[in-house]
A and B are shown apart, each in its own frame.
Chain A
Amino acid sequence: MKKRTRLAAVTLLAAMLLVMTGSMALAQDNVTVTVWSWRTEDEDAYNAIFDVYEAANPGVTVEFVPFVNTDYNNILATGLTGDGGPDVVQLRAYGGLQPLIEAGQLMALDGKVSNLSNFTDAILKGAQGRKDGQTYGVPFGVQALGAFYNVGIFDELGLSVPTTWEEFISVLDAEAAAGYIPLANPAKDSWMLPILHDAVAAPRYGGPEFQAAVLAGETDFNDPNYVASIQVIKDLQPYLPPDVVGVAYNDSRTLFISGLSPIFIGGSFEIGFWHSEAPDMEVGMFMVPPPPDSVTDSLVPSWMDGSYGVNARTDSPDAALALVDWMGSPEFGQLFSDKVNQISPVAGVTPTDPLLAKFAEGMVEHPASYLLLVDFRYGDPSGSTVMGNEIQRLFLGEVTAEEVAGSLQTGISQWFVPAGAG
Chain B
Amino acid sequence: MAESTLQNEPNGRPLIRRRNTMMPSRLTIALFLLPALLLYTIFMVYPLVQALIFSTFEFNGLNRGDFVGLQNFQQLFTRYPISEQLPRAFVHNIYFFIGTMLIQNTLGLLFAVLLHRPRFGKRFFRTVFTLPYLISPIVVGYLWSLMLNPLFGPVNSTLRNLGLGALAKPWLGDPATALPVVILVNAWMWMGFPMLLFGAGLAGIEDDLREAAKIDGASNRQIFRWIELPLLTPVIGIVSVLTFIGNFNAFGIVWALAGTDGSPAGATDVLGLVFFRTAFRGEADAFGLASALAVLMFLFIFSISVVVQTWFRRLERRMQ
Contacts and interface: CB of A to CB of B under 8 A. Distances in A.
Interface of A: 73-74, 77-78, 81, 95, 98-100, 102-105, 187-190, 241-248, 251, 254-255, 379-381, 385-386, 388-390, 392-393, 396, 398, 410-411, 414-415
B266 interface: yes
Given A388-B261, A414-B79, A246 B150 contact: yes
A381 B278 CA distance: 10
A393 B62 contact: no
Interface stretch (B16-24, B168-176, B304-312): B168-176
Contacts of B152: 251, 254
Contacts of A78: 62
Interface string B236-268: 000000000000000000000001010111100
B150 A247 contact: yes
B284 A98 contact: yes
Interface residues of B, number: 32
Contacts of B263: 188-190, 245, 392
Most chain B CB inside 10 Å of its own CB: which residue of A100, A104, A190, A241:
A190
B18 to A, nearest CB: 57
Contacts, number: 101
Secondary structure dominating the interface of B: loop
Contacts of B60: 99, 102-103
B47 interface: no
Interface of B: 60-63, 79-81, 145, 149-152, 169-175, 259, 261, 263-266, 280-286
Nearest to A380: B283
Contacts of A386: 81
Given A78-B62, A100-B61, A242-B150, A393 B265 contact: yes
B125 to A, nearest CB: 33
B275 to A, nearest CB: 14
A364 to B, nearest CB: 33
Contacts of A187: 173, 264
Contact of B61 (A103, A255, A396): A103
B173 A243 contact: yes
Contact of B171 (A99, A244, A246): A246
Contact of A243 (B62, B170, B286): B170
A381 B150 contact: no
A380 B282 contact: yes
B149 A251 contact: yes
B150 A74 contact: no
A98 B286 CA distance: 13
